[in-house]
Structure 1
Amino acid sequence: MSDHRPNVIVILCDQLRRQAVGCYGDADAVTPNIDRLAAEGVRFDSACSTYPICVPFRFTMMTGQYAHTRLVPGIEWRMSPAERTLADEFNEAGYESIYVGKWHLDGGHGRMGSAEQTNRTPVRRPYQGRWQKWLGFELRNDPHDTWYFEDDDPTPRKIDGYQTDGLFDLALQHLRHGRDKSKPFHLLLSVEPPHPPYIAPADLQAAWADREIQLPPNFHAESEAVRAQLIAQRRTYYAMVENLDTNVGRLRRFLTEQGLAEDTTLLFLSDHGELLGAHGLTSKQRPFEESVGVPLIVYDPRRPDRAGAVITEPACTEDLFPTFLGLAGLQPREHLPGEDLSYLIAGERQQLARPGVLLEFVAELRERVPFYDEVWRGFRSRRYKYTVKGDKNGAHPWQFFDLQVDPYEMTNLIDDAAHRASITEHHSWLRDRMEETLDPLALAPAFGHPSWNQWR
């Protein structure tokens, strides 16, 4: 490793649950390159998407702020150009900032209609978060028909072939020929797969079509037809993940060939998970582990002594902004609510002072979509997960799971007298975090603790 500041690459995929990667224990997943990244780096075992849906995750990753401070809904929301972003921090530190792929902070369907129309409409330069190099698009949700835009050019450009392959191609091409080689760089590479629709490259789709897969104990389908459909979708999901893994390997080989490997810190993560039949549900939004649990893997070539380390401390989306900076030896200009996890990654700390992390679903603007009428908050500690749910009149205790003995969250202990002390403690932690961050949700009194924001 040279004495220069490291390059920082973040690979962000969409809707990849933590459990669907080999190094997290999935025997069906074909992810040798991601697994190798974890074996040579550091793996977070309890990383959580604070607000498990695309837009708010991206807002928080980009600003370091809780989404409830801006009342960010689950989808169809445009980030103000006034927000101080990750790119601002890296730009001011002398880095070249490069954004490639899905953005989803420009209003999406709500501003522009269909996914196809949205994909053909440029994100205007003031709304690109001040990334110096932009090879991006708002969203598409069709990996065989994706277009992107370069900088402030309003001309859409088609990605040839499968989206994941094409976006990695764009990133590698810019690193090879387009970047300012006098500066370190921060690249954020954002791909949609394995987000639905479940479509994989043809060869992988065929290879997975009849493959036997294991179903988790909390898998449930309401009929044989639905069961067959979910299993088919799970197979394609694995195929999409395998394609993603192949591209991770391709990127690592490129960094070695270009002489960049020893100067580049690499992170792999997802914005949220996917239930795909767990608890009889699909999609994300919910506080179950298949939804909030995400992979977070960090490879820092300066720390070979940390190879294979597993960090069990709960991490959250708010930690990403300060951690990306911390890995580059930088600090945010302003105080932020998240923790710089680079100290854990380096082994300089073993534990954080906080007891756990806040989870939330702030608002849903679409009728007939989960959490339109009621929303939820939660607190994830090292062993337990506690949630409340309610409307403007106050959220009430909802769920309590012992993740150590019940990792698939099949036994809700919220009314279990034997766990009353732990439930009370978690309610206190949740209420404290809501008050600290001025969360607008009304929380009803419970377990001897007063309400928060409740008017009567």
Structure 2
Amino acid sequence: MHWTKITGWMLALALPLMAAAQQGSGVKKRPNIVYIMSDDHGYQAVSAYGYGLNHTPNIDRLAKEGVLFTQATVTNSLCAPSRAVLLTGKHSFINGKIDNEARFDWNQDNFAKQLQQHGYQTALIGKIHMDGLPQGFDYSAVLIDQGEYYNPNFIINGKKQQVPGYVTDLTTDMTLDWIAKRDTAKPFCVLFHQKAPHREWLPALRHIAEYTKLKVKEPSTLFDDYKGRGTAARTAEMNILKDMNWAGDSKIPPAMMDELGLKQTLTWDKAAYTNNLGRMTPDERKAWDAVYDPIMADFKKRYPSMSKTELMRWRYQRYMQDYLGTVAAVDDGVGRLLDFLKTNGLDENTIVIYTSDQGFYLGEHGWFDKRFMYEESLRTPLLIRYPAEIPQGKRSASLVQNLDFAPTLLDYAGVAVPKDMQGRSFRKLLNGKDTSWRDAIYYTYYEYPSIHMVKRHYGVRTNRYKLIHFYYDVDEWELYDLEKDPHEMKNVYNDPAYASVRKNLYKKLVQLRKQYKDSDANDQRFLQVAVKKQQ
């Protein structure tokens, strides 16, 4: 028999035996990664966190089968900057994406590029909210800007096309389809980014009948008067009664607004309603109107005699019904993904992360939106499942940040973390091999003056305390004792009882600004950019 034929025959037998030997010796394949990021999903609206607002059984599965972080935070509570931090592992003042207006430089390194260079297949599907063709991905299907809920436009590998359907379901479909068609010889990483529950909150038709009937518990601070805080809280424009759009947000038809004498809060209020619902097919619009028309007819009757308190409560319910309705479809998508992974034998060796680009106000302090360093905005849901390494049912209060995602995922993939990344891998926190971690996090916010008028600020948060400096057109400091004042109702910066706490926090703040290479020079540089925009 010819020698090459013998060799080929022997290899055919040897390769499966080698693979089996590797498995038996504990050699593991590199994990697959599914990173699920929703947009503006407050941790209060994940039922595993225990706030009782809604039920998210599929997201909760990640908590039961993995770890839930109770104090995960972001470095800059705004959509596009948060995504830039995820990709680069660097603070906004380093990666350059300080706000939603600044351009993101895709030429800089990111963790997806690193994974690509080390044998991973990579994909980005859904919302990224940054201009330019995404780099670091073998496949991308991204929404344009904020994206649309019904029959949205996607840019798929650089080409724009409208895709019929509901955006949350479509993003899920595309993600599962890409995983199914991948090269099975390589590990994969997919960023599965949902638009929901971003404003203006249009739920899927299958959820509107149920969720428009919800009676949601009001937060204790819904009627906050902001007396315990400074200028920033008092002047922010995100109050549900005063600043939320009537048509686009509360779904009151523009013609009805005119009849009732309701004025647009923002110039694009009526246009948002017309454009968003105008994307629906005739059948979709008919199903929508069948549910919402009676609600609006009832409001029309009641409005003339409603007090401001009654109106605030009505608007809060309208807001939460639609918001939680959009979350329901996100949870459906998580369930479909987890079932798909299990059915296809991928669940054991796939890291699944669920998080949001930041937190969100669900009526706390009377607000919607985010931006502040206050808790509801700063903290984000974070649940991670990886059966091969992470124990089930674990809860962690460690101060992890979105800054840490890139180095953590590279660590799991066996890829060296670039030295200029500012985050830390929290893999050893997850597997319990090392419980030591940072004792404070650093935060910055720059998008002012702009929509919602949240003043520029930076600050430090420890497990118990928070120190914030508001600047630009004010110079004010706020200090909160989160143990005694979890809702952050009273600024104790000038309280003599907190003098030593204030001193220690200031030292920590100076230390972190130096560690992360932030300074007043950065603030001035970005202020000059803002001034030019205003001219």
Q: Give the TM-score of the pair, scaled to structure 2.
A: 0.74
Deviation of 1:128 (Å) = 0.9
> C-alpha offsets along residues 183-235 of structure 1, whole Å, 9 cap, x if unaligned?
00001011110011111012312101122221221222663323311221112
CA distance in 1, matches of 2:313, 2:75: 29
Correspondence for 1:47? 72
1:39-188 mapped onto 2 (5 Å cutoff): 39-106=64-131, 123=132, 127-152=133-158, 154=159, 156-177=160-181, 179-188=182-191
1:199 to 198, 202, 219: 202
Counterpart secondary structure, 1:279: helix
- Aligned partners of 1:26 and 1:431: how far apart in 2? 35
Give the 5 Å matches for 1:184-263: 184-220=187-223, 223=308, 224-263=310-349
**Which ranges of structure 2 fall in alignment gaps of 5 or more residues?**
1-22, 224-239, 242-307, 524-535
For each residue in 1:83-109, what CA deviation from the matched residue of structure 2 results, as whole angstroms up to 9, or x when unmatched?
A: 101211101111001111112121xxx
Q: Note if 1:324 corresponds to 2:409.
A: yes
CA shift at 1:365, angstroms? 6.0
**Pair 236,389 (structure 1): closer, same or farther in 2 beyond 3 Å:** same
1:62–1:85 CA contact under 8 A, matched in 2: yes
Q: Does 1:420 align with 2:499?
A: yes
Aligned equivalents of 1:160, 1:289: Cα separation in 2: 38
SS of residue paired to 1:262: coil
Counterpart CA distance in 2 for 1:159 and 1:417 is 60
CA offsets 1:130-188 (integer angstroms, 9 cap, x no match) = 21111223323421131212213x2x2323321111101001011112x1111000010
Tell me which moved more, 25-34 or 136-145: 136-145
Bigger Rg, which one: 2
1:52 is displaced (CA, Å) by 0.3
Match of 1:315 in 2: 400
Shift of residue 251, structure 1, vs aligned partner: 0.4
* Secondary structure at the counterpart of residue 310 of structure 1: strand
Counterpart for residue 361 of structure 1: 445
Tell me how far apart the structure 2 counterparts of residues 176 and 260 of structure 1 sit (CA, whole Å): 11
Partner SS for 1:420: helix
| Identical amino acids, percent of aligned pairs | 27
- The one-letter amino acid paired with 1:197 is E
Whichever residue aligns with residue 334 of structure 1, its letter is: K
Q: 2:464 matched to which residue of 1? A: 383
* Distance (Å, rounded) in 2 between the aligned partners of 1:256 and 1:163: 24
Distance 1:270 1:277, change over 3 A: same
CA distance in 2, matches of 1:228, 1:258: 46
Distance 1:187 1:351, change over 3 A: same
SS of structure 1 residue aligned to 2:353: strand
- Offset, 1:350: 1.4
Which structure is higher in helix share? 2
2:179 aligned partner, one-letter code: L
Match of 1:271 in 2: 357
Q: Which amino acid aligns with 2:460?
A: F
Deviates more, 1:63-72 or 1:192-201: 63-72
Partner of 2:7 in structure 1?
A: none
Shift of 1:432: 1.4
RMSD: 2.2
State the TM-score, normalizing by the size of structure 1.
0.86
Q: CA deviation at 1:442?
A: 6.5
SS at match of 1:267: strand
**Equivalent residue for 2:421?**
336
Contact 1:133 1:151 in 2 (8 A): yes
Q: Give CA deviations for 1:354-408 in whole Å, capped at 9, x if unaligned.
A: 3210011034363x5424xx4100111111221111128x8542x2222223222
Judge conservation of contact 2:149–2:168 (CA < 8 Å) in 1. yes
Is contact 2:129–2:146 with CA below 8 Å preserved after alignment?
no
2:404–2:424: 8 Å Cα contact kept in structure 1?
yes
Whole-angstrom distance in 1 between the partners of 2:378 and 2:397: 15
Greater shift in the superposed pair: 68-77 or 235-244: 68-77
User: What is the distance in 2 between the residues matched to 1:440 and 1:145?
Assistant: 45
- The Cα offsets for residues 307-357 of structure 1, whole Å up to 9 and x where unpaired, read as 1111101111211111122232333233321111111011111131x3210
C-alpha deviation, 1:71, in angstroms: 4.6
In 2, Cα distance between equivalents of 1:10 and 1:262: 15
Aligned amino acid, residue 171 of structure 1: T
Aligned residue pairs, count: 416
> For the Cα contact (< 8 Å) 1:270–1:296, is it kept in 2?
yes
Q: Using the TM superposition, give the Cα deviation of residue 443 of structure 1 relative to its aligned residue in structure 2, in angstroms.
A: 11
The residue that corresponds to 1:117 in the other structure is none
Determine the structure 2 residue equivalent to 1:429.
508
